[in-house]
Amino acid sequence: MNAIQKDEWKNITIEEEPIGCGTFGEVYTALWKTEKGPKIIAVKRYRSYYSIKSKLTIYSLQLKHDHILKLYCLSIDDNRRLIELMEYADCGNLYSAVHDCTVNIVNNKYETFSLMWMLHCAKGLKFLHDQNIIHRDINTRKLLLFNKYQTLKISLSQTVRTESTVMTEIVGTFVYMAPKIMEGMQYTKKCDFFSYGIMLWEVMSRKKPFYDMREHHSFAICRKVLQGLRPNINDVIDIQNSDEIKILITKCWDADPQKRPSMEEVVAIMEKYSFYYENGNQILNIMKKIITICTFI
């Protein structure tokens, strides 16, 4: 993941209008003409005050996994702004897929896709944690979708750190934030587990976290979370044997970090449900065809 040389920029055409803006910069689509042919990529142009050291920390880790967003390289533009080239998520982010009713999930198989997405997320987080890396700001906007919504990858933001780093500064999105972090405690892997529980509830309910407290200030919601408030578990959609999913969610967002499950346990449970829905639907369709044929015999 080396920096692009100045004369190579002629092979990259960046669109004029950004597709997204955030605290640290804007994201654009671009066409990159490579030796293997042209490819559509995403280009993030960071604001001038952003330090390159934060990104070099991520790049130095050389993280490669099926469910981690691929980062191509870093560079500096003529205005001394940091530029990052990365995979382009052709299906957008998970937040939009869950909450935007205009998004057409293939064959209306939302339950199957939702379980698969959260399995991919769990596998990506497990990989990060196996490398002793904490994301610290995992939320549905940081989960990107590819391949007709069939592949999910975690975007590595500026909050990613190794577990050995002393981390008491509060970062992240507050509705996904673990109570201990709100109190200014040290970040651990268990903080990502809490965020996963909130996301799993969000995806399986298709509701935004604390949607019923929209009129409240964020500090008021944080205070309620510290007092034990969580999203309504009964908002989870009714699927076959959904009780185990509900139990998993409540374990993930337990106030006591030591009572939260390991990511190995999460992966095992999500693999079971994802397999059931993917294969169960196929078996059901076959049986329907058999019944239809039998009615004409």
Q: Is the residue at 157 inside a domain?
A: yes
Q: How many domains does the chain have?
A: 2
Q: Is the residue at 210 inside a domain?
A: yes
Catalytic residues: 137
Annotated binding-site residue? 288:
no
**CATH number, residue 69:** 3.30.200.20
Q: Which domain holds residue 73?
A: 6-87
User: What does pTM read for this prediction?
Assistant: 0.85
Answer with the one of 87, 107, 136 that is the final residue of a domain: 87
In this structure, are 49 and 115 located in the same domain? no
Q: Is the residue at 188 inside a domain?
A: yes
In this structure, are 30 and 117 located in the same domain? no
3-state secondary structure at position 286: helix
Answer with the one of 87, 119, 138 that is the final residue of a domain: 87
Answer with the one of 55, 72, 87 that is the final residue of a domain: 87
Q: Is the residue at 251 inside a domain?
A: yes
Contacts for 29-36: CB closer than 8 Å, 24+ residues apart: 29/88, 30/85, 32/85
In this structure, are 176 and 99 located in the same domain? yes
In this structure, are 173 and 224 located in the same domain? yes
| Rounded Cα distance, 176 and 198, in Å | 6
Tens-of-pLDDT digits for all 297 residues of the chain?
A: 455 666 677 888 999 899 888 777 889 999 999 888 899 999 988 876 555 666 666 666 678 899 999 988 888 777 777 888 999 999 999 999 999 876 777 656 888 899 999 999 999 999 999 988 888 889 999 999 999 999 999 998 767 776 655 455 666 688 999 888 888 788 889 999 999 999 999 999 999 999 988 878 888 889 999 999 999 999 998 776 678 899 999 999 999 999 999 999 999 999 988 776 666 455 345 344 444 555 545
In this structure, are 267 and 230 located in the same domain? yes
In this structure, are 111 and 212 located in the same domain? yes
CB environment 102-121: b (16+ within 10 A), e (fewer): eeebeeeebbbbbbbbbbbb
Residue 108 token pair: 């209306």
End-to-end CA distance of the chain: 63
pLDDT of residue 2: 53
Q: Is the residue at 290 inside a domain?
A: no
3-state secondary structure at position 84: strand
In this structure, are 123 and 62 located in the same domain? no
In this structure, are 60 and 148 located in the same domain? no
**CATH number, residue 264:** 1.10.510.10
